[in-house]
A = this chain, B = another copy of it.
């Protein structure tokens, strides 16, 4: 197909060329960015929006809108161009002129929260498609709860070769295929080009066969044949399985001398090539100018969406489930949760159970899930170990989405991304479990939770050498530090059932911050035997045992608070006055006033105790203070032996305290 043959004056051609022109002009103005993908996928995106997508730029929070995810996030100009053309009020042409500039909404990659109509942050490849699986799952789950008159929409994804090479895509694709997520439609931008050159440098996979093996409907089309694209979408929408449409495209389509090469992937075209592209596409308007008839055509898409939203709003108004639907989308009812947790804490302080905090987490979840109607639990195949399933939960199964528990399979990364998608979709509050050591597998998606400010909850059990015999591959030693390093992420390591309940209370009422609960495998005594209505964990650290005049302050987290208390007793027996500080959440402690922090930490010598490396403890400790923890990887043995072997004991704490005094 020569360029001449492709020039057309049909409205959709103009609509697509508007995307191409805006993309190449914005990248040129920024002197940075990726014109190749937006230009290559402009036809597919135009057909999708013009004929199928239902969005209303006047209300980007409309729950029943179709979702569009640009998983190939480097092609962000496709999103910005479309959102500008649709008329989102926060995406005037000036934003496109300021592509990739400080303070603009048009970041290098689409950033959730920076502008309306960006459903999720993409850029790290494979995340978009995997987050979209969560969105499509949430759609089916909300549909099961509220019916098709309120919830009935599609999730569309544009994925590139990179997205499909990334491992996370395997987890996402398999999960979507297994759960029959029929409202998920993925367009693969099959342009045969990666950064290093042709895709044949590094892959020979038959993607159609691969998706089919995972239970997907698959199709292949010329990504510049609008009739074929539309027909493929029609068929995909009607299919009962998730769909993948391979779109054979020319990367940088329209740029006469550069299209179809990796030179057009991630660099400005240059003035000469841009002029030649205008000529070839028959696009005679100056940079950043879109003629009225093209604007009108795009505004018609928005108008159709606005009509659909109006009709939906009428249905909601008339629905007997309206209140429940609105409640599901409202912020968590903290009052009800607070009352339930407080009552539960009363019982705990009285009963003083000795339980692993993973078990305590299950006990707290019984309260949480009994109070909040829209939690969604799950585990990456460690349900019985993570204790994530409560008595009332039934699993979601292929075709039946009424349950509230997801068997994510052995797919930690896919689970984390799916939870992001569920939370972003709205209406549901996801939490999911794995072993803390495998936070490493989840980490790229956890980073997006933090970057986007999505309040999902990671339930991570087996949080130290205390897991025992499984050995160093399963024993976190650096994991707490690595998670505490992440901005906008609350890392809780509760010491007992009371702190675990408080951690859940905080995590479930976050609106813009994800949480990780690091929980023990081994049983731990209740250390908070005196009830407080106040959530002490919310202070990050607090004095658990105080003395009139401190000789030393022992600071510990999680399972090591028990050790600190034993050291406190041993020191007391020798006439040494130790205070014990429990520090379940460093991030929240860092947010307290300097006065509170000084009061908690005191002026006496300090001993930190945590079965992990010291990094991050400078929040609590001065250079002259002591630390008892790990300096390298763990080992395989029964837990009590490991604690003795690595010297994390009350005796060691007592000895170090005396050395420091």
Using known A-B contacts A210-B214, A441-B444, A618-B618, determine if residue A108 contacts B202 with beta carbons closer than 8 Å: no
> What 0/1 pattern do residues 613 to 634 of A give for CB contact below 8 A with B?
1011110001100000001110
Using known A-B contacts A205-B174, A636-B108, determine if residue A623 contacts B613 with beta carbons closer than 8 Å: no
C-alpha gap A472/B123 in the complex (Å): 9
Using known A-B contacts A166-B411, A204-B178, A471-B123, determine if residue A383 contacts B196 with beta carbons closer than 8 Å: yes
Quick check: A32 and B615 within 8 Å, CB to CB? no
Indicate which residue in B124, B161, B195, B637 contacts A385 across the interface (CB closer than 8 Å).
B195
CB distance from A600 to the nearest CB of B (A): 15
> What 0/1 pattern do residues 376 to 409 of A give for CB contact below 8 A with B?
0001011111000000000100100000000111
**A512 at interface (Cβ–Cβ under 8 A)?**
no
**A478 at interface (Cβ–Cβ under 8 A)?**
yes
Indicate which residue in B162, B486, B623 contacts A478 across the interface (CB closer than 8 Å).
B486
**A213 at interface (Cβ–Cβ under 8 A)?**
yes
Indicate which residue in B102, B125, B470 contacts A109 across the interface (CB closer than 8 Å).
B470
> What 0/1 pattern do residues 156 to 200 of A give for CB contact below 8 A with B?
000001100111111100110110000000000000001111000
Quick check: B166 and A169 within 8 Å, CB to CB? no
Quick check: B202 and A213 within 8 Å, CB to CB? no
> What 0/1 pattern do residues 592 to 626 of A give for CB contact below 8 A with B?
00000000000000000000010111100011000
**A473 at interface (Cβ–Cβ under 8 A)?**
yes
Quick check: A167 and B443 within 8 Å, CB to CB? no
Using known A-B contacts A196-B384, A440-B443, determine if residue A471 contacts B111 with beta carbons closer than 8 Å: yes
Quick check: A205 and B196 within 8 Å, CB to CB? no
C-alpha gap A384/B169 in the complex (Å): 25
> Residue on B with the closest CB to A470?
B108
> Could you say how many copies of this chain the assembly holds?
2
> Residue on B with the closest CB to A209?
B213
Chain B residues whose CB sits within 8 angstroms of the CB of A383 once the complex forms: 195-196
Chain B residues whose CB sits within 8 angstroms of the CB of A470 once the complex forms: 108-109, 123
Indicate which residue in B101, B162, B487 contacts A633 across the interface (CB closer than 8 Å).
B487
Chain B residues whose CB sits within 8 angstroms of the CB of A482 once the complex forms: 478, 481-482, 485-486
Indicate which residue in B171, B195, B474 contacts A166 across the interface (CB closer than 8 Å).
B171
**A544 at interface (Cβ–Cβ under 8 A)?**
no
> Residue on B with the closest CB to A443?
B440
Chain B residues whose CB sits within 8 angstroms of the CB of A486 once the complex forms: 478, 482
C-alpha gap A631/B623 in the complex (Å): 22
C-alpha gap A214/B202 in the complex (Å): 12
Chain B residues whose CB sits within 8 angstroms of the CB of A450 once the complex forms: 633
Indicate which residue in B102, B196, B407, B471 contacts A381 across the interface (CB closer than 8 Å).
B196
Chain B residues whose CB sits within 8 angstroms of the CB of A123 once the complex forms: 470-471, 473-474
Quick check: A413 and B167 within 8 Å, CB to CB? yes
**A641 at interface (Cβ–Cβ under 8 A)?**
yes
**A295 at interface (Cβ–Cβ under 8 A)?**
no
Size range of the chain A interface in the assembly:
35 or more
Using known A-B contacts A178-B204, A194-B409, A213-B213, determine if residue A111 contacts B167 with beta carbons closer than 8 Å: no
Indicate which residue in B447, B471, B616 contacts A107 across the interface (CB closer than 8 Å).
B471
Quick check: A437 and B124 within 8 Å, CB to CB? yes
Chain B residues whose CB sits within 8 angstroms of the CB of A210 once the complex forms: 210, 213-214
Indicate which residue in B102, B201, B215, B488 contacts A635 across the interface (CB closer than 8 Å).
B102
> What 0/1 pattern do residues 442 to 483 of A give for CB contact below 8 A with B?
011001101100000000000000001111111001100110
**A288 at interface (Cβ–Cβ under 8 A)?**
no
C-alpha gap A383/B631 in the complex (Å): 36
> What 0/1 pattern do residues 203 to 237 of A give for CB contact below 8 A with B?
11111011011110000000000000000000000
CB distance from A397 to the nearest CB of B (A): 8
> Residue on B with the closest CB to A409?
B202
Quick check: A205 and B195 within 8 Å, CB to CB? no
C-alpha gap A33/B109 in the complex (Å): 46
Chain B residues whose CB sits within 8 angstroms of the CB of A73 once the complex forms: 473
Indicate which residue in B107, B408, B414, B477 contacts A167 across the interface (CB closer than 8 Å).
B414
CB distance from A194 to the nearest CB of B (A): 5
**A100 at interface (Cβ–Cβ under 8 A)?**
yes
Quick check: B109 and A408 within 8 Å, CB to CB? no
C-alpha gap A73/B471 in the complex (Å): 11
Using known A-B contacts A125-B410, A165-B411, determine if residue A196 contacts B487 with beta carbons closer than 8 Å: no
CB distance from A372 to the nearest CB of B (A): 24
> Residue on B with the closest CB to A124?
B473
22 pairs of residues in contact across A and B, judged by CB atoms under 8 Å: A100-B638, A101-B636, A101-B637, A102-B641, A104-B636, A111-B473, A123-B471, A124-B437, A162-B381, A167-B414, A178-B203, A196-B379, A196-B407, A440-B443, A443-B443, A451-B473, A478-B482, A481-B485, A485-B616, A487-B631, A616-B616, A618-B618
9 extra interchain contacts, Cβ-Cβ under 8 A, other than A165-B410, A205-B214?
A100-B637, A102-B645, A108-B471, A108-B474, A174-B203, A204-B214, A478-B486, A481-B615, A616-B616
Q: Which 6 A-B pairs have the closest CB atoms?
A: A167-B167, A202-B409, A170-B170, A618-B618, A102-B637, A123-B473
